[in-house]
Structure 1
């Protein structure tokens, strides 16, 4: 082989990996799109509501920044907490049935927040907040079943060759939905401001409600019973193991056997998922801090489009996650998560330079590259660890630290905004982001220091 051919080999190998992985994924069963489409549509609705929720609660319902932050943390944390108990619903009652029921439940829940804007607010006991809280509670239950059953379906419908790409695509499509929400929201707010005073936010919620209810019909049409049977028939050994496990006698929650078989009894697994909490705070700041930070600290042409700028990252994730997955499908998942968390956390120091569109966009781009490196592999890693019949349960358990992240971050995010980036008065957002950057860096540093020990527990995966 010539020297020129040898120097081109890494590039050609990368291209071969991309083409080969994409070809395998395209040949995946139709049932995969019965998973991809609802996750994309839910990305629009869920992140669309979440981007506006702090502003809606703080200003429309008149709760103020601190109380609004606490409420949002209970909502997002509650979703993850619900997964801990409801994650196994798909394992128990079947993928299609639970997936459709969970989407329907979220659609019904969003009806309440749409009409809450017509009621008086001002306190936690006001009619507007009580109806909003009812809406959020119903969505918590629905989403607590939705995401675990969806990832369980991805595992069962994909093969070993296509699983990395399958998880990257479904994760990317969900993020594309978040970006689409950022495009739609400013325009819909302007159109709906007269029908949904004072700022049209409830009009945006109405759009997401209709979209969620439509998702039930669309998903049901794509993911028919015959489609599910055909997808499982393509992997008869996996389907047989899952069916056999579903028929086993399961321990009751909080029973002695339940504790004895709990994955958190594995110290490496427990350490691994909990040490990701510091870097995951950056995800929580995407809706707790970033929208109001952009809306308050930046020049008008940026501030007036805070939804769009807050959701630039998801568009990049949609573009990057499948590409990164194809290039790194054969790389060790632990290495990808170590370096991915570092690439995600470090750019936060750019925001310490002060409000600057260039610094903001650079931060979003670099943070997204890091997210694309490790986050899809994290879900993939969880499902690979799970024994047959327990995929949904493992995904739910793996979300427990995420619950703590969202809950704890919400406890202080509103105070930091009021202290360092208030709606009125002098702002010192640089100090706020310095603290947040130092917190995020704990994860990659800790993973680097304990990588050898963690690798000792991954042989089974």
Structure 2
């Protein structure tokens, strides 16, 4: 059903004439103007970005070296390492569901400060304890909880500190900070492991650096203000926790059709996200075994982040030509095809081409998924939707962890005959499920412009509306 919106128009005043020479700005002109309007955003937006560069770099130092840490330092097998990744992803998923309401209830300053303090404590404890089971427990208890609170809180903060004109480019700049920190972490990991070796002493240095960065991030987030630039400008607003209980807050979302459509779309996005996790989890081990021991996988991580830094803002212009659902579909299709490149070879050239193509797909998809999320989320309930939108991160880690451990052991073992190309073919087939399903199910999954009855049929709200008709 098409939606027809009647807009109020202001009548011409007496002696006022239409400007016959006026021409509407082109899409390119609107895109360029959105960059200049970024300079008018409040200081909190830029403080947020600085804090997130420190925050993301700290977490990326662990994420990019996680498989090497558990396999080389703690001598877990490929399959055991995959199971550990599954446990980490599962814990983050549970935390996201349990604490997704925190940004809604307590605001971005409190939620982001909490996540940075938790992460700082977690990495500090990793420097102290060396037992492998204690360290895995610390990562689950502190670091994964920190990540789970950080993601929805940060995305909500970007929305609060931007308006409609700057939101698209604002999220693109946010991803510049995210991928820039990944490039920094990739270079640091490669440099530290090249100078040192795969042992506990080297990783204590990595954990110490992460502790310091999260301490700096926590100090910065203390100075963030609670704003809503779109409605109140730079007037600071009070954070008033909802008078309803957490269950009532969540229940009001569970009865919405838009929420369940979004859940299904998010589950599909998870499969597409697996490509990016295999870059972090599977690619380093693959390069060590197929190219050479000590292969510079950090350079590939930097390449990935650089493509994202260039592609994310430059490809934002596509929002003026396609809606967010179409861009999610395009990005998922490009990313799903990228692992097929490694069927033709395993050298640095083929690995680089794989990373470049996957990065182009991600630079189209990632910022638009946040915009799509906030577009379907009811006002005041964005935290729950953002928590669900963050689930491709931990759930993708679960799927990637299981498949990485199994596929590396089965097709790309440390010793024995290898058929590593088969591993990447399977990864591509899994990822391509997303764009195929999005095309087939588009009529059911895409959020309509207008929905006369927004509640699911079994809810009391829907029954009440039917009785009043």
**Which residue, 70, 76, 92 being the options, matches 1:57?**
70
**Which residue, 385, 402, 426 being the options, matches 1:435?**
426
Distance 1:400 1:251, change over 3 A: farther
Cα-to-partner distance string for 1:112-155 (whole Å, 9 max, x where unaligned): 22334xx3xxxxxxx33213422332011112211111111111
Distance 1:327 1:13, change over 3 A: farther
Distance 1:443 1:219, change over 3 A: same
Q: CA deviation at 1:368?
A: 0.9
Q: CA deviation at 1:405?
A: 2.6
Please state if 1:278 is matched with 2:271. Answer: yes
Please state if 1:236 is matched with 2:232. Answer: yes
Distance 1:30 1:326, change over 3 A: farther
Distance 1:143 1:343, change over 3 A: same
Q: CA deviation at 1:73?
A: 2.3
Cα-to-partner distance string for 1:380-430 (whole Å, 9 max, x where unaligned): 111222222221221002233543332233123212111111223322100
Contact in 2 for aligned 1:109/1:136 (Cα 8 Å)? no
Please state if 1:25 is matched with 2:38. Answer: yes
Instruction: Quote the residue 2:332 is aligned against.
Output: 341
Q: TM-score, normalised by structure 2?
A: 0.84
Q: CA deviation at 1:106?
A: 0.5
Contact in 2 for aligned 1:317/1:371 (Cα 8 Å)? yes
Instruction: Quote the residue 1:380 is aligned against.
Output: 371
1:87-236 matches, within 5 Å, as 87-116=100-129, 119=130, 127-193=131-197, 197=199, 200-220=202-222, 223-224=223-224, 228=225, 231-232=227-228, 235-236=231-232
Q: CA deviation at 1:22?
A: 0.4
Please state if 1:289 is matched with 2:282. Answer: yes
Q: CA deviation at 1:165?
A: 0.8
Q: CA deviation at 1:264?
A: 7.1
Instruction: Quote the residue 1:411 is aligned against.
Output: 402
Distance 1:234 1:343, change over 3 A: closer
Distance 1:34 1:264, change over 3 A: farther
**Which residue, 411, 430, 433 being the options, matches 1:420?**
411
Counterpart Cα distance in 2 of 1:445 and 1:281: 16
Q: CA deviation at 1:91?
A: 1.4
**Which residue, 86, 97, 101 being the options, matches 1:73?**
86
Q: CA deviation at 1:45?
A: 1.4
Counterpart Cα distance in 1 of 2:46 and 2:437: 38
Counterpart Cα distance in 2 of 1:366 and 1:233: 36
Cα-to-partner distance string for 1:66-99 (whole Å, 9 max, x where unaligned): 1111112221342233122212212111221221
Please state if 1:262 is matched with 2:254. Answer: yes
Counterpart Cα distance in 1 of 2:196 and 2:190: 10
The count of residues paired between Structure 1 and Structure 2 equals 428
**Which residue, 45, 49, 54 being the options, matches 1:36?**
49
**Which structure's residues are more often helix, by fraction?**
1
Contact in 2 for aligned 1:84/1:399 (Cα 8 Å)? no
Cα-to-partner distance string for 1:19-74 (whole Å, 9 max, x where unaligned): 21101122211111122112222221112211111111112112221111111222
Contact in 2 for aligned 1:189/1:199 (Cα 8 Å)? no
SS in structure 1 of the partner of residue 185 of structure 2: helix
Q: CA deviation at 1:167?
A: 0.9
Distance 1:163 1:109, change over 3 A: same
Counterpart Cα distance in 1 of 2:424 and 2:167: 36
Q: CA deviation at 1:330?
A: 5.8
Contact in 2 for aligned 1:321/1:372 (Cα 8 Å)? yes
Counterpart Cα distance in 2 of 1:24 and 1:263: 38
Counterpart Cα distance in 2 of 1:400 and 1:110: 23
- Which moved further from structure 2: 390-399 or 77-86? 77-86
Distance 1:263 1:313, change over 3 A: farther
Contact in 2 for aligned 1:263/1:269 (Cα 8 Å)? no
Q: CA deviation at 1:13?
A: 4.2
Counterpart Cα distance in 2 of 1:33 and 1:258: 32
- In structure 1, runs of 5+ residues without a counterpart are 1-8, 120-126
SS in structure 2 of the partner of residue 235 of structure 1: helix
